Structure formats: structure tokens, C-alpha cells
Structure 1
Amino acid sequence: MVGYASAIGSHVGMVRSNNQDSGYAGRRLFLVADGMGGHAGGDVASALAAQAIAGIESPSADRSAADASATARTLRDQLLQTNRMLRATVGDRPELAGMGTTFTGFITVEDRLALAHIGDSRLYLLRDDRLTQITKDHTFVQRLVDSGRITEEEAKTHPRRSVLMRVLGDVDSSPEIDTEVLETRPGDVWLLCSDGLCGYVEEVDIEKILRRRTTLQSAVDALIDKSLAHGAPDNVTVVLVETLPEALPAEETPEPRFAGSAATEVPGGERISTGRTRLLNRRRIVRRGQPVAESHFEPRVDEYLSELIAETKRRNRRRRVLGVLGLLAIVGAIAGALALGYQWTQTRYYVGTDGATVIIYRGIQQNLGSISLSSIAENTEIPLDTLDGNEQRAVERTLSAGSLEEAREIVLRLGED
């Protein structure tokens, strides 16, 4: 029977004043929730959701007797019940209207994971030293990427990237929740994270940190540090779970731990308020991030999507127009520079030959592709063979002059003893 080891951490970031993330690492249940609603209730929503879902974990449950598919359905049903609880909370506390939270988490069932997911927190898998994203974001920009309207790179900077299409909370009475059963094997490392990590740290850097880990907790700390190095403009929460060949002895199994907002008041749970977390919360980073837009929910209605898609098309058209104008400006600048350069060449002269006669040329000897940068200014009608050997060679090599008068003086000196 396989076993599982875990580590968890959360940081408020360098910009936000409160931590709207919540995380949980239990014996069988692991999750990340990212609240929305700002000071009005994002931290409350994620904490309530994390605490409510953590309540379904039973330390004494016989995991071998459970069915992974049934467990996934149970997790989904509990999330729907949590959604009703969040809406009821807003009924009692109107100042929390509009609060909501993402949720990504799983329950282990022997060598399988019962996954539930809603929002834009993510689950990744590191297997054979290769990182793969398992969940798909429930965001407007992901809809645009899926439909081929924008690229993954464009999605990273899209002005609507903070728009969530599915969340738990006071926004939807019956949200659609993705569930899935995943197989795991010893050596797998599962990463649950809020978008404070995956939104600012490249996947290649995440993969490197996980591959080079010495312990799970050191990897969690390194991932948070990497987000801080990028300015940490958002809260960041990380949960790592490693699949082991066999279960840990009871004395080595850690107690359930909460992190982030859910760690404030959780009966029976261990708070993640270690010396390291306090140090991270005080840490000053030179590269301070800019404030980011608050995540917010928009209803999944065709009219709204059509409006946003039309806005994206207008934005892309503006970008193409600006690109064309920029290209024209560059071409114009190059053409202007070439014109000025050509004008300068026409102020220069040199004495040369057409092979038979001494010629005064205007311009310079070089050509610009097939374009000659010189022309005949005067044909002196002096036969080249009337000059002595040294003068012939000098004329063939050309004699530069700063003006037509100077070129004529050079011609007059030819043949003088």
C-alpha cells in the first residue's frame, strides 16, 4: 500500500495587506483555496471553505474500503454544501456580499487521487522529472485560449486574466465543479498552488526547484522564495504531496496543518505560524511587485462572453494597427536615414576613369545593392594613356575630392612634371 508525505506553506506576498489564500495538508486530504472579494471577504471565503472541507477527513477512515470515484463525488457534494454555507454567511453578514473562493484539492484512496477543482488554483504532477499541469483554469482567458482566439503567451498579459468563470461563494447557487480520479505511483510529486505562484513563476523554474529538492518542505520554501523574487504581487500558497512506496509509520505521520487565512482559528488544527513564516512576512525584497487586479467572478452568459470576445478582437485589431504603424515608422526612419546618407554622398567627388578617359565623378565609389552611388560630373576628355604610369595607377585607384573645384585642380595637376 502506498503512502504519502506532504509539506505546506503560505505567504501574504509583497503587495497585498491580507492573505486571501488558505491551504490544508492532512492525512488524506490536501487542498488550496484562493479567496476573492478583497477586504470584503476573500480571506473569509477561503478560510471557511478550507475548514469546512477539512471536516470530512477522518483520521481513522479505512482508505482501502473507499472507492475513488465515490470519494470524488463525496468531495463534490461537500463543496456544493460549502457553497450553500458561504451564501448563507453572506445573508447573515451583508458586508461580505460578492465573496468567493477557488478550490483545488484531492483525497488519497490507496494509489488513486479523488480530485475536485473549481477556479484558477492549479494541480501539477512531477513524474519522471517532468512537470505537467493537471487542472484547467476556469477563467475567461482560458476560454479564449481553448477557442483559439488568443495564445497562451497573450493570456499572461490579457487585461481580463483576473476574470473567473467558476468559483464557490455568493455568486452562483449551483456552480459546476470538475472531478476526476487520478492514478499515482511512488515517486510522483503533486503540487497544489494558488495563482500567486503559477501566475508569476515560469513552469520551467517550478520544475527545476522540484527536481532539485532535498526535502518537500525545502521545495515549498524555495517555490515561495521564487515568487518573492518576482515581487510576489499576490498571495502565494503551496502544498506538496509525494507518493511513497509504503505508508509512513504512525509516529512519523504529521498532524493536519492549515496555512494562510484558514490558519487563524482552526480547532484541532496546527497553525502554520512558524518562525520562518513570520520571517518571510517581514522580508523586504528590492524587486517589489506592482499591485494586481483583484480576481472577480462574471456570470457564464453568452451575452457577456460575446462582449468580452468582441473587446478582445478590438484589442487585437488595435495591436495589429499599432504594429503596422510601428513598422511603418521604422521603415520611414530607415528610408529617411538612407535619403540623408544619399544626399551626403552627392556632396563628394573623385577623379577616376571609365577605362579610356579621365572622368570627374560625383558621389562615392560604393554601390547600394544594384544602385550606384556615383555619376559622371565632367568628362575631361583626357586620354588615360597620355598619363605616366604612376598617374594612370593613381587615377585607376581614384583620387578623392571635397568639391568639384578641388577635383578640377587635381585634373589640372595631372601631367605636370
Structure 2
Amino acid sequence: MPFAFHYAARSDVGMVRSENQDSGYAGPRLLAMADGMGGHAGGDIASSTVIGALVDLDGEALGSSEASSALLQRITAANTQLAEISKAEPALQGMGTTLIAILRSHNKLVLAHIGDSRAYLARDGKLTQITKDHSFVQSLVDEGRISEEEAIGHPQRSLVTRVLTGQHDDEPDITVREARIGDRYLIASDGLTDYVAGDTIAEMVLAGQPPGATADRLVELALKAGAPDNVTIVIGDVVDITKVTAPPTQPQIVGAAATRSKGTRPIPVTPAAKAAALSREAAGESDDDGHDVTLAEEGPTSGPGRWLRRLALLGLVLIVLGGGAYAAYTWSQHQYFVAAHQGDVAIYQGVSQDLGPIKLSHVKSQSDVLVADLPDFYRAKVEDSVSTDTLQAAQALVSQLRTEALRCAASRATGGACDDTGASSSSTTTPSTTTTTTAPTTAPTPSATTKR
């Protein structure tokens, strides 16, 4: 029976972020999603670089025995490329990305997973998570220290223990599954899973709507929930190609991968993606023109009436701007982040950006952790600043960094190298699947990376 994916990919920058660091891809043989991290300087490059290294697989008819090794080889090559980019551009050191990729080979699906993005399988009226987060909070759940319910709102849920960062031991979990007609696969960034309840996600995925409509609805729900992070959805339905009237043939590329202009591996942007970009540009121009026309037509064209209207409008604008600025400043003083201060790790109250000459943050407390004592990866994160939800979360992060500094100092004292990464391996099995795991078996360590 000839199998194919009926697919869709969607991405939105979210309610707070100014840039999209996610990248998504959906095609006839490949579904992939990467959630980049490393601040505005590198998250988008990391995610789009990895996705760009995989897209050629969508055009190759690989045998079942070849698909696993081919996917792993491409991911390894992409990870090496991240190391080379970081070395060539010091400003990009500390960038990384999660990855979930599903490569179809006949009736087999090879799934690669690293990080805390999630993949789900909808089968027989039930939605099941088929990946396990590589995160600090998941390790607490595995050890029985917290429950699944406590993990949902845990302040450290953004700490990941395994991602692609260019380190030689960044290896994903690889599993092989059997595809079934009627299966639906959902890949999502934490911009969806952290802000929309699992039951609600299941209801939408199982509603029977086409992939595109389902993805649109999930993004809409995440935005309504106030998701501050990027939201990216990739959906693939396993279908009998002989029974689908018009299966899609053009891949869909979304997020940073669709707009990235820098990097060493170009991504083929589809006509649909180009049209979307042109449409946004045209819409922006149209909006500006429309506002100009509206203002030009309002009120009398000459005389005192026109000036009174302008003065009234100016006064209204100043009032709105003043009220908005006060509200924004008040909100900023309820935020916290961890960054360097005079060589030490410190907790700041406020936000890391300033508004012209107005300072929007100040040092809340300074720790005894020297930034220079941290492993390179964590030092880069602190120098770039790490946002947290609460003061308690910031304090917990400082404690985690103190542990890393002590571990690094102990390693150096014995003549050893200071390893930047921690790792834990996991494999997930679900009913009616055949799973083969080739992930590393390194035991988890306390080290973790905070996603931004």
C-alpha cells in the first residue's frame, strides 16, 4: 500500500518575542521542527541551520535500513556546522536548538528527538505523547521528586538537559515506528504545550479537521492563552496516496527557516513561502497607505477646525503614550533575569532592555558565583542574560549555576576538562509500535540549559 503524508506547518512569533527562533518543515516524506535558543543573536540561526541540513532527505526514497543512519548522519553534520558557525562568529557562542524529525520510508517512520519539543501520535481516538522531554523538570518527574501535575507549572520547566549545541556528544534519541493509515502525527514547540492544556490539544487534534485547519486552530489557542514564546506546529497524516484526491506535493517551510538570510546552507523557500512574505510586505505598505488616506480625508481641509482636530488628536496620543509607558514600566518591575555584574552572577529586577536613557532594571542581589568559573556554555548564557518568570525561579537558577561552577572548579583542580553539557537518554514506547533506540546511555547530570 503506497503511504504518504498529508501535512501542514504553521508558526507564529507569539505575544512577547520580537523574533521567531523556531523553524518548521513539512513535506511528503519529512516532518521536522526545531526550537532555537541563544537569544536574538543565534536561536534563529541554530534552528534554521539544522532544518536546512535535513530538507534534502524529503526528496530521497530511502530504504528502511538506510533511513535511520541517513537521518542521524544529517543531524550530526548539522551539529558540527553549529560548532563551526559559533567558532567563526563568537557572538553566536551559546546558541542551540531542540529538534524533532520524522522521516518516512515506505511503511516505517524514523523519529529523531532531542530537547523539550514534543511529538504526539493520534490513533484510535486517543492522543499519546511519543517523546520524553530532555529537561530538568522531566528528570525530577522520573526520579519521583515531583508529579506530572507539578511539572506543568514548575518555574524551571525551561531548563533543558540535552539540545544540539555543536558539542560532540549532542546525540538525539532515534526510534523506528510502524506507520498506519489514519495515524496523525503532531510536532509542537513549547509555545503550544506550555500554554494550552493537554486535553484541549487532544480535542483539536482528534476533531477530524484537515492538517492545515488543525494547525491554525492550535496556534490560535496558544495566542489566546497569552503564549509569550514562539508557537510552531507541524502535522502529518499518514494516508493511502491512491485514495487522496490531491495530496500536497510542495513542502511548507515556516518560522526562521523561511526567512533566514544568513548561514552556510540555503533552504529552498517554496513559492507559497515567497508569496506569504510578499503578501506581508504588500499588506504593510497597504496599511500605511490606507492610514495616510484616512488621515488626509478626516476633517476640513483648511481653517481653524483642522488645527483644532490635530491638537486634540495630538493630546489624545500623548495621553495614551504616557499611560502605556507607565503601565509598561510597572510591568517591567515585576520581571527578573540573571546576568553578569562586576564579574559575578547577579539577579536583576526589571527587563534587560533599556528605553533610551531610562534604565528598566537594577541589581536585586549579587551572588558569590564568579562568571569566569562557569563552563563556557553557561558563561555565554549569563553574559547574554537569562529571563525567569519569578524571583524564586531566578534564585533557583543561581543555585544551579553555583553547582555548575563548583563542578567545573573541581574538574579543573584535578587536571580534567570542564564539560559544558549534561545528558540523559530516554526512549519512549507506545502500544502497537516497534521501537529501536540508538541513543546514548549516559546518566543524567544536574547541568541544564535555560531556553530564551
Structure with a larger share of its residues in strand = 1
Counterpart in the other structure of 2:254: 259
- What's 1:223 paired with? 218
Runs of 5+ consecutive residues of structure 2 not aligned to the other structure = 261-265, 285-330, 337-385, 389-396, 402-419, 424-441
Larger deviation, residues 24-33 vs 212-221? 212-221
How far apart are the structure 2 equivalents of 1:2 and 1:71? 15
1:119, CA displacement in angstroms?
A: 0.5
**TM-score, length-normalised on structure 2?**
0.60
Cα shift at 1:126: 0.6
Q: Which of 200, 203, 207 is 2:198 aligned to?
A: 203
Is the 8 Å Cα contact of residues 185 and 235 (structure 2) preserved in structure 1? yes
Note the 1:204-353 alignment, pairs <5 A: 204-247=199-242, 252-265=247-260, 266-270=266-270, 272=273, 274=276, 299-300=421-422, 305=445
In structure 2, the CA distance between the partners of 1:19 and 1:186, relative to structure 1 (3 Å rule), is: same
Which of the two has higher C-alpha Rg? 1
- Paired residue for 2:343? none
Mapped partners of 2:279, 2:221: distance in 1? 15
Change in 2 beyond 3 A, CA 1:160/1:216? same
Identity of aligned residues (%): 39
Supply the RMSD in Å over aligned alpha carbons.
Answer: 3.2
**Helix, strand or coil at the partner of 2:199:** helix
How far did residue 37 of structure 1 move?
A: 0.5
State the match for 2:313 in structure 1.
Answer: none
Question: Are residues 276 and 189 of structure 1, via their aligned partners in 2, closer, same or farther at CA, if it must alter by over 3 Å?
Answer: farther
Is 1:30 the counterpart of 2:38 in the alignment? no
- Distance, in Å, in 2 between the alignment partners of 1:186 and 1:211 is 15
Instruction: Say whether the 8 Å CA contact 1:168–1:175 is kept in structure 2.
Output: yes
Is 1:123 the counterpart of 2:125 in the alignment? no
User: Secondary structure of the equivalent of 1:168?
Assistant: coil
**1:43-64 residue CA offsets vs partner (Å, 9 max, x unmatched):** 1100111111113332xx335x
Question: 1:85: how far off?
Answer: 0.4
Q: Give the letter for the 2:26 counterpart.
A: A
Partner of 1:337: none
Task: Call closer, same or farther: CA 1:99–1:226 in 2, change over 3 Å.
Answer: same
Deviation at 1:40, TM superposition (A): 2.1
Query: 1:181 offset after TM fit, Å?
Result: 0.4
Which range moved further: 210-219 or 222-231? Answer: 210-219
1:123/1:291 CA distance change after superposition, 3 Å: farther
Q: What is the CA distance between 1:294 and its match in structure 2?
A: 5.7
5+ residue gaps in structure 1? Answer: 283-287, 309-417
Deviation at 1:158, TM superposition (A): 2.0
Report if aligned partners of 1:126, 1:210 keep a CA contact under 8 Å in 2: yes
Asked if 1 retains the 8 angstrom alpha-carbon contact of 2:22 and 2:256, the reply is yes
Instruction: For 2:26 and 2:250, locate their aligned partners in 1 and report how far apart those are by CA, in whole Å.
Output: 9
**How far apart in 1 are the matches of 2:201 and 2:278?**
21
Q: Which residue is equivalent to 1:133?
A: 129
CA deviation map 1:145-179 (0-9, x unaligned): 01111111211222221111111124x22212100
Alpha-carbon separation, structure 1, partners of 2:91 and 2:186: 34
Q: Does 1:194 align with 2:189?
A: yes
Farther off after superposition, 48-57 or 221-230 = 48-57
Residue 120 of structure 2 contacts residue 186 of structure 2 at CA under 8 Å; is this kept in 1? yes
Deviations 1:202-236 (A, max 9, x none): 11101111122432111000000010110021101
8 A contact 2:187–2:234 mirrored in 1: yes
CA distance in 2 between partners of 1:251 and 1:134 (Å): 29
After superposition, the Cα gap between the structure-2 partners of 1:249 and 1:201, relative to the gap in structure 1 and judged at 3 Å, is closer
Distance in 2, Cα, partners of 1:27 & 1:244 = 11
SS at match of 2:176: strand
Report the TM-score when normalising by structure 1.
0.64
Q: Deviations over 1:287-312 (max 9, x none)?
A: x9x9896699973189994699xxxx
| CA spacing shift, 1:46–1:250, aligned 2, 3 Å | farther
Q: Distance in 2 between matches of 1:20 and 1:110?
A: 32
- Count the aligned residue pairs: 295
Secondary structure (helix, strand or coil) at the match of 2:58 reads coil
